[in-house]
Structure 1
């Protein structure tokens, strides 16, 4: 492993998803402590095409894990393949930054995090929104008592229907709205209300032909008896927001989960006889997430005190996914158009 003042972290890409191309690759170009060593894709010709654009080397999944010039990998595969290839990378001695969710079940997430801990490797689940400064500001105001005692938290993340051949409609590859979109509101609830959350109820709208969920709602209760209402879907107009309502004020944030790097976030705070808006500076959450990962992976050792909260959060998120599936009332539809 590299020292902070040493050479850049040599990073390999496993998977060439749209999010990797739109957000992670530009971020890599902005961080001088990381260097792209190669690109791996299921279709080697596809990898060669992208590698040529980036001036790097193309390979298959197994091959990139065998290379001595790769210290870490960024995994951006369909959700159902995250666990397999994160595990393969950890067993190959590579640090791992994996797109969310890390795994589709708590059992798999726990196995991966324990493997990383045993091998002294950094394993991060790339919920990049957590690294945006707008949420840091909300947490600061919450800690200062600006909203009084928290009472309810609501969060929504919905996107329009996807192309018919999109992998998120493929149950075998871990498709569905819960795993792809619903995990954002879940993680936001963890971020603001703490890790001890109970699933009090859930509904899922399921495409009976594809066997994937298209939308859902979840009710959580925190250890401090704060209610959280979450909604998500892949059959809506775009929406990405949350609101935290306390005993003396509420705060609302739009474009909460996927703001572009140039966006000036606006926190709206409402009280009974007063409203104000706080405009915050822009922040590149993918760059911030990458820099945090590189900083952890280039230290002399993977610091368990630093990494344990990240590992625990991934396991907790996967546990919520398990519980939602178990408790959800499922409403069947034959296809997205009928819903």
Structure 2
């Protein structure tokens, strides 16, 4: 496939306008064709060729090859499935669904309609995580023993959709999933049980802490919060030292636009530190376009999404039932 891929956007979320569109404009192999929004007007998108006030109209546009879905969590699966039924490839904001079954349905739909679908955990396409993974693979720090991730910010707008239960709101869905994704994908870890506790506001979790463990006695701690100061980082504690990655999930929002990796030895002495700059959003777009155009394998498949969403689902079940939940992959 040689031609440029035409993109359509479903949803007027901030991430679409402020992050996805600027990244797409940097791509030489993709361009924006249309956007559909029920909450915004055509006047806000004068640089986009076509504006649709209904999602269905955009999906009927035969010129669109790929759809980026930036809707509330509870609507992800519905519109991804409809897009695939129209033969569109799909880049879908995380979390892909609000249940494992939704993710499985999307995986099957992609196979049936012979299209590419990927959950948009953009952070994994920033090269800082490759640096961390390669360091772990050298085994210089020994086996990892404890992983902890924190993603938090202070959400002051009480009408924000992140606090709407019917739309799939919740800190764990919105930002806790990042740490769970890292735990599962970067560490390639499948824990055996999880215990989650948290604080609710109108039945929506505004803070949660999940403790995962396996049969080897390794643990992972995932903190997600809408009412703590802004932090997004993870730390991997190993037998002979540790790796701290600051600005792990939003390096673009840091003071210098970089992530920061700090490596310490067993005595706690810093043995290396580096700022790493990259454009995860552009890399993500180029990655899925390469899969569509050149049939290159995805780094992150819907089978991987099933695993991550299973871990999120089990965490929510533990929070609801107030007890430890066993995990079966």
What is the TM-score normalised by the length of structure 1?
A: 0.89
Aligned length: 318
Would the alpha carbon gap of residues 224 and 63 (structure 1) be closer, same or farther in structure 2, given more than 3 Å must change? farther
Which ranges in structure 2 are unaligned for 5 or more consecutive residues? 323-329
1:17 equivalenced with 2:17 (yes/no): no
Aligned counterpart in structure 1 of residue 49 of structure 2, from 35, 50, 56:
56
Would the alpha carbon gap of residues 308 and 280 (structure 1) be closer, same or farther in structure 2, given more than 3 Å must change? closer
Aligned counterpart in structure 2 of residue 251 of structure 1, from 243, 250, 254:
243
Query: Residue in 2 aligned with 1:319?
Result: 310
SS at match of 1:98: strand
Q: Deviation digits for residues 132-170 of structure 1, max 9, x if unmatched?
A: 100000000001113211111110000102312211111
Using the TM superposition, give the Cα deviation of residue 263 of structure 1 relative to its aligned residue in structure 2, in angstroms: 2.1
Using the TM superposition, give the Cα deviation of residue 42 of structure 1 relative to its aligned residue in structure 2, in angstroms: 1.4
Task: Answer with 307-316 or 122-131: which moved more.
Answer: 307-316
Aligned counterpart in structure 1 of residue 181 of structure 2, from 183, 187, 196:
187
Task: Verify the 8 A CA contact 1:156 1:230 in the aligned structure 2.
Answer: yes
Q: Deviation digits for residues 186-229 of structure 1, max 9, x if unmatched?
A: 1011123215223331112111xx22111100011247543111
Where in structure 1 do 4 or more consecutive aligned residues deviate above 3 Å?
Answer: 222-225
Query: Residue in 2 aligned with 1:236?
Result: 228
Structure-to-structure mapping, 1:294-305, within 5 angstroms: 294-299=289-294, 301=295
SS at match of 1:16: coil
Task: Verify the 8 A CA contact 2:152 2:228 in the aligned structure 1.
Answer: yes
Would the alpha carbon gap of residues 47 and 34 (structure 1) be closer, same or farther in structure 2, given more than 3 Å must change? farther
Would the alpha carbon gap of residues 17 and 223 (structure 1) be closer, same or farther in structure 2, given more than 3 Å must change? farther
Looking at structure 2, the residues matched to 111 and 79 of structure 1 have their Cα atoms a distance apart, in angstroms, of 15
Looking at structure 2, the residues matched to 79 and 169 of structure 1 have their Cα atoms a distance apart, in angstroms, of 11
Looking at structure 1, the residues matched to 183 and 141 of structure 2 have their Cα atoms a distance apart, in angstroms, of 16
Aligned counterpart in structure 2 of residue 38 of structure 1, from 27, 31, 34:
34
SS at match of 2:301: helix
Looking at structure 1, the residues matched to 280 and 95 of structure 2 have their Cα atoms a distance apart, in angstroms, of 17
Structure-to-structure mapping, 1:130-209, within 5 angstroms: 130-207=124-201
Query: Residue in 1 aligned with 2:282?
Result: 287
Task: Verify the 8 A CA contact 1:109 1:314 in the aligned structure 2.
Answer: yes
Aligned counterpart in structure 2 of residue 84 of structure 1, from 78, 81, 86:
78
Using the TM superposition, give the Cα deviation of residue 89 of structure 1 relative to its aligned residue in structure 2, in angstroms: 0.6
Query: Residue in 2 aligned with 1:335?
Result: none
RMSD: 1.8
Which ranges in structure 1 are unaligned for 5 or more consecutive residues? 332-339
SS at match of 1:236: strand
What is the TM-score normalised by the length of structure 2?
A: 0.92
Would the alpha carbon gap of residues 137 and 224 (structure 1) be closer, same or farther in structure 2, given more than 3 Å must change? farther
Aligned counterpart in structure 2 of residue 105 of structure 1, from 99, 102, 117:
99
Looking at structure 1, the residues matched to 108 and 30 of structure 2 have their Cα atoms a distance apart, in angstroms, of 26
1:126 equivalenced with 2:120 (yes/no): yes
1:270 equivalenced with 2:261 (yes/no): no
Task: Answer with 65-74 or 270-279: which moved more.
Answer: 270-279
SS at match of 1:143: helix
Looking at structure 2, the residues matched to 203 and 235 of structure 1 have their Cα atoms a distance apart, in angstroms, of 15
